[in-house]
Amino acid sequence: MSALVGRPFLKMNGLGNEIVVLDLRGSRIRVQPEEARAIAQAPGSQFDQLMVLHDPRTPGTDAFMRILNTDGSESGACGNGTRCVAWALTRGTDRKDLLLETKAGLLTCRRESDVDFTVDMGAPRLRWDEIPLAEEFRDTTGIELQVGPIDAPVLHTPSVVNMGNPHAIFWVDDVEAHDLARVGSLLEHHPIFPERANISLAQVTSPESLILKVWERGVGLTRACGSAACAAAVAAARKGLTGRKVRVTLPGGDLLIHWRESDGHVLMTGPTELEHEGVFTADLFAGAA
Ligand SMILES: N[C@H](CCC[C@H](N)C(=O)O)C(=O)O
């Protein structure tokens, strides 16, 4: 029987990005990919990301987070899920600041209101081998990659950014004019991305605003993706399309992103919402193998 049976979880969302928070601190349980896939499919616990909390690895941190996608794969970053974890860990306390850790690094979180949090997502990594890409590209503000006919590509020359996870951002005049569901999987699995990639379409609407749609690695289309909003804001500023503070509008709502000059860190501010609390039951894992 799964060790997760009887464990409580929180079903939350960050701007419509579906998040399940599972606190396994104090135990040695490790969620297996097939368990994550079973949880993702069960009514009441569907998620885009499963945020699993483990005992801290680095002194002074509050928890170590493993981030699992619906296909059971693992990510180093999830902005919307990190805000949900910060909500869960500060609930019922007067704490404002938290320090969390993922396999990609440390994240500081600050409570701005009952539901709004700012996460310091760290500094973006911008070298081709840090994304990572399979081939050397000196200029990661636009790499050679295109969709559609060679002489009239529909999408081309994406910017690439690693925010603890790999992102490619295609610049378009109108995000609604493209069917991201149709090309998302192909681009996510393109051989140029040896660890696959999260794929975004970005439309610049002013020097302070972007519209973004995201196809997430290991998930598919989602209503919001915090790390993609950070990656798009960094890429837009690098290209001179916006300043370093932008409002990113996703299907689920808005995130405020600030690529801070002083230390190069990216700050993301946005809301969280608790939908319900539940407990994993044995039947949920009956088919997991
Ligand atoms: N929804 C998340 C990102 C998940 C990224 C994940 N799909 C990956 O494999 O990198 C966010 O708010 O940042």
Its ipTM equals 0.98
Q: Which of 78, 84, 109, 230 is catalytic?
A: 78
- Is 17 annotated as a binding-site member? yes
- Is 13 annotated as a binding-site member? no
Q: Is the pLDDT of residue 189 over 60?
A: yes
Q: Tens digits of per-residue pLDDT, 146-156?
A: 998 888 899 99
Q: Which ligand 1 atom sits nearest the alpha carbon of residue 166?
A: 10
Q: What pLDDT score does 287 carry?
A: 73
Q: Which ligand 1 atom sits nearest the alpha carbon of residue 73?
A: 9
On whether the 128-264 domain is CATH 3.40.50.20, my answer is no
pLDDT mean over 40-69: 97
Q: Domains of the chain: which residue ranges? A: 8-120+273-285, 128-264
Dist CA 107 CA 211 (whole Å): 25
- Angle among Cα 102, 246, 155 to the nearest 5 degrees reads 85
Q: Tens digits of per-residue pLDDT, 228-280?
A: 999 999 999 999 999 999 999 999 999 999 999 999 999 999 999 999 999 99
Q: What pLDDT score does 91 carry?
A: 97
Is there an atom of ligand 1 within 6 Å of 40 CB? Answer: no
Q: Tens digits of per-residue pLDDT, 99-144?
A: 999 999 999 999 999 999 999 999 999 999 999 999 999 999 999 9
Which residue among 12, 65, 78, 160 is best mutated to probe the pocket of ligand 1, counting the most ligand atoms within 8 A of its Cβ?
A: 78
Mean of all residue pLDDT scores within the chain: 97
Q: How far apart are the CA of 77 and the centre of ligand 1, in A?
A: 6
Whether the bond between 132 and the residue before it is cis, its omega within 30 degrees of 0, is yes
Q: Which ligand 1 atom sits nearest the alpha carbon of residue 216?
A: 7
Closest CA to 119 of 10, 5, 270, 232: 270
Q: Is 109 a catalytic residue?
A: no
Dist CA 22 CA 68 (whole Å): 11
On whether the 8-120+273-285 domain is CATH 3.10.310.10, my answer is yes
Is there an atom of ligand 1 within 6 Å of 188 CB? Answer: no
Q: What pLDDT score does 152 carry?
A: 87
Q: How far apart are the CA of 274 and the centre of ligand 1, in A?
A: 19
With a CB cutoff of 8 Å and minimum separation 6, the contacts of 240 are: none
Q: Tens digits of per-residue pLDDT, 212-227?
A: 999 999 999 999 999 9
